[in-house]
Structure 1
Amino acid sequence: MFDRRLFRSFDFLLLLTVIAILLMSLVVISSVTMHDLSGDPFFVQRQAMMFGVGFIILLVIVSIDYTIFYRFTPYLYGINLLMLLAVLFLGSSAGGAQRWIELGFFRLQPSEFAKFIIIISLARHMTAREGDFESLFSPIPFFVHVAIPMGLIFMQPDLGTSLVFIVIVFGMLFMAGAKLRHLAFYAIAGAAVGLPLLYTRLQEYQRMRLFIFLNPDSDPLHYGYQLIQSMIAVGSGGVWGKGLFADGTQIQLDFLPEQHTDFIFSALAEQLGFVGAIVLLLLYLILIFRILRIGANAKDTFGMLICFGVASMLVFQVLVNIGMSIGMMPVTGLPLPFMSYGGSSLLMNMMAIGLVLNIGMRRHRLMFGN
């Protein structure tokens, strides 16, 4: 039965920070979809419902000792591969990508849940090999561990999520004790060998995103349109923004595509300005700091690696999403954690935070002996 004394170590600030970001998300989504230009008036209701479902899942995960996940990790990894394979044969398509499985009431995106599962499975794999990271060849089994699901995701195609996997494995390897010079060697060698091969496998629209990143004005009405409109939206917000539910040109006139998903940061910046953007960034800073703090105080290597894996995932997605909104990164389609509309992404992130809170609550196990 759940021991209430565990709440002595519960990180309420982390949970409140997540809730604050989610409330900002609901307000911005409500504002940008108020005119229902897409023909769907229920974005906010669905996101709020997913928030509720995610919160329940978070509480369930918090109530279970996280070490139980260590035992079931091989099964989770196998289920993950089956779901990713199912997408290739049974998945539905949108925007040139086949990433979803239609469940009637819900569009499941297995690549989102794959992030959560790969963090747990890597943490177990690295814990089992603890202390064995001196050799240059030590990281290879972990690259293979990640390469299989990453390859299936790349075939969807989903380059952005594939890059998240790379960041997760490098970040967790560093925290597990792999030498920095060895990781640098693999990063350089991987880039030298993999980038030319990767480029030949990219879809036409993915290649154009890279060209547009270097020169958005080369195709302002087609491939460069999103990026240009996003930068206009961010810049037009000024210091205080044009106001929520106001007549901002890029948002309310629907010049900015995907304003409630990939480019929600641009929508926030136009409506709440520099001040609103800074508030959101500060919330993310608190979020990451609390996760790293829990990881640093975890009672075991397994818990520590899970926390740093979650932190690596969130940091990369925040940097890439905001970077593409202001023209500092290529457009990848990565969602902004807890802000972008999307059920699978929100549920996965709530599961990850639930596991981090779980690890933080159980960092002083000996305190609860009989």
Structure 2
Amino acid sequence: MSLLTGMPAVRARLDRRSALWQADWVLVLGVVALAAIGALLIWSATHQRSSLTGGNEHAYLVRHALNFAIGSVLAVGAALTEHRRVRIFAPLLYVASLVGLILVLVPGVGAVINGSRSWIELPWLSVQPSEFAKLAVIVGMALLIAEKGETNHRESARTVDVAQAIGVAAVLVVLVMLQPDLGTVMVLGSIVFGIIAVSGVPKRWMLGLVSAGTVIAALAIQFNVLKEYQLARFVAFADPSQDPQGIGYNVNQARIAIGNGGVFGQGLFHGSQTQNAFVPEQHTDFVFTVAGEELGLIGAGAIIALFVLILWRGLRIAVNARDAFGRLVATGVVCWFAFQAFENIGMTLGIMPVTGLPLPFVSYGGSSMFAGLLAIGLLQNIHLRSHQV
């Protein structure tokens, strides 16, 4: 009897060891490398800014490392969660994100930072629900489309199933737009587009989504949903020289910083723009400018190469997924990271408008790190399931 009762524990240990060996370690190392580079860049951008650090030059370095450690625990938990439980948790994540997005709009609960009511200030930390909304849209849409397909024994989603999935995403998109957080809305749009693209619906759906997005953007401008500073960012994107000391200041300083780096950079902790604090929000939204100035083309190129590596591994996981849910989740995560990295790097180079999006795993920010690492954990979960016999 004792032998039989001990078998489940032995089997669980063997499963954990098997998961350790079968994990996608290329994906893991790519994420760890990005976070490590981010730690150095954040340290360089903040160690001389006592107004940020309160006199502790290592403050943001330690916080970034702590965020990564906590996020890694969440990632491991997501990776080792039994597949059926992941589906059970998906609606809970969606509801939690929905509640969070509603709470930030409540006066006295949501905090306004940089013109957007996107944060809930707690005594010990600040939470940005819109970061977790990205993950909620992915698992919510994937679960709905996959469950409907499995129930009806279909490999491709029906039009009504896709319409319902878009409705699920639209609720969160509207709440994020009301903050307003245009950058996150753009990321959510890319996620929805990617998931629908691989769901098996006719191609006319893609044209319909693009047309709907264009109409919604026009209505948002027409009815003043977007703030004046957000519209001004698009003006600055089109012509940064129009207001170089105002709305165009960030873009111009970012270009100068990256241009200063040349091929090999000015050296870590030695960038003139960075160390003199000419670039605003350099440890968060504009962290790539630190890499461009202090590590040069080689260092900045290495960051881009690491993102390409992560996206490649994510696409492999999507292709090899054993079910529609895994394929759709992996596709959504890849679209999320691809668009957000492109937008963040693009706005520092002046080829995309400034939207306030962090660079995944590199920028400072707890909510962004936690949500991103949870997504990596889900990718590992799908990967491990595809290797089960």
TM bucket, shorter chain: over 0.9
2:123 aligns with 104
* 1:72 equivalent among 77, 85, 89: 89
Identify the range of structure 1 (1-10 vs 132-141) with the bigger mean alpha-carbon deviation: 132-141
What pairs up with 1:324-343 in 2 under 5 angstroms?
A: 324-343=347-366
1:247-276 superposed Cα distances (whole Å, 9 cap, x missing partner): x22111111101110000111100000011
1:63 aligns with 2:80: yes
| Aligned match of 2:216 | 194
Cross-structure match for 1:12:
25
The CA deviation string for residues 302-338 of structure 1, in whole angstroms up to 9 with x for no partner, is: 1111111100000000110011000000000011000
1:217 counterpart residue number? 241
Q: CA deviation at 1:143?
A: 2.0
Shift in Å, 1:138: 5.7
Match of 1:32 in 2: 45
CA contact (8 A) 2:145 2:162 kept: no
**1:240 maps onto 2:272 in alignment:** no
1:359 corresponds to 2:382: yes
Shift of 1:62: 1.8
- Aligned pairs for 1:304-315 (under 5 A) are 304-315=327-338
2:64 matches 1:47: yes
Query: In the alignment, what sits opposite 2:277?
Result: 254
Aligned match for 2:187, one of 138, 155, 164: 164
Q: CA deviation at 1:164?
A: 0.9
What do the CA deviations read for 1:269-293 (whole angstroms, capped 9, x no partner)? 0000001111111111111101111
1:93: which partner in 2?
Answer: 112
Contact 2:343 2:357 in 1 (8 A): yes
Runs ≥4 in structure 1, deviation > 6 angstroms?
A: 134-137
More displaced 10-residue stretch of structure 1: 2-11 or 12-21 = 2-11
Secondary structure of the corresponding residue to residue 118 of structure 2: strand
Looking at structure 1, the residues matched to 282 and 233 of structure 2 have their Cα atoms a distance apart, in angstroms, of 18
1:292 paired to 2:315: yes
Q: Return the alpha-carbon distance in structure 2 between the equivalents of residues 289 and 63 of structure 1.
A: 22
**Residue 37 and residue 218 in structure 1: after superposition, are their counterparts in 2 closer, same or farther (change >3 A)?**
farther
- Name the TM-score, length of structure 2 as normaliser: 0.90
Aligned equivalents of 1:355, 1:135: Cα separation in 2: 25
Aligned-residue identity in percent: 38
Shift of 1:237: 0.6
How much has 1:37 moved relative to structure 2? 4.4
Distance 1:133 1:296 in 2: 15
Candidates 218, 228, 231, aligned match of 1:207: 231
| Whole-Å separation in 1 of the counterparts to 2:376 and 2:27 | 8
RMSD: 1.6
Gaps of 5+ in 2: 1-11
Bigger RCO (CA 8 Å, 6+ sep):
1
- Please give the alpha-carbon distance, in whole angstroms, between the structure 2 residues aligned to 1:79 and 1:30: 33
* 1:346 alignment partner in structure 2: 369
Give the gaps of 5 or more residues in structure 1. Answer: none
> Which residue, out of 280, 292, 310, partners 2:303?
280
Distance, in Å, in 1 between the alignment partners of 2:225 and 2:304 is 35
1:134-164 deviation per Cα after TM superposition (whole angstroms, max 9, x unaligned): 7766632222111111111111110110111
User: 2-side partners of 1:127 and 1:331: how far apart?
Assistant: 35
Structure 1 SS opposite 2:94? helix
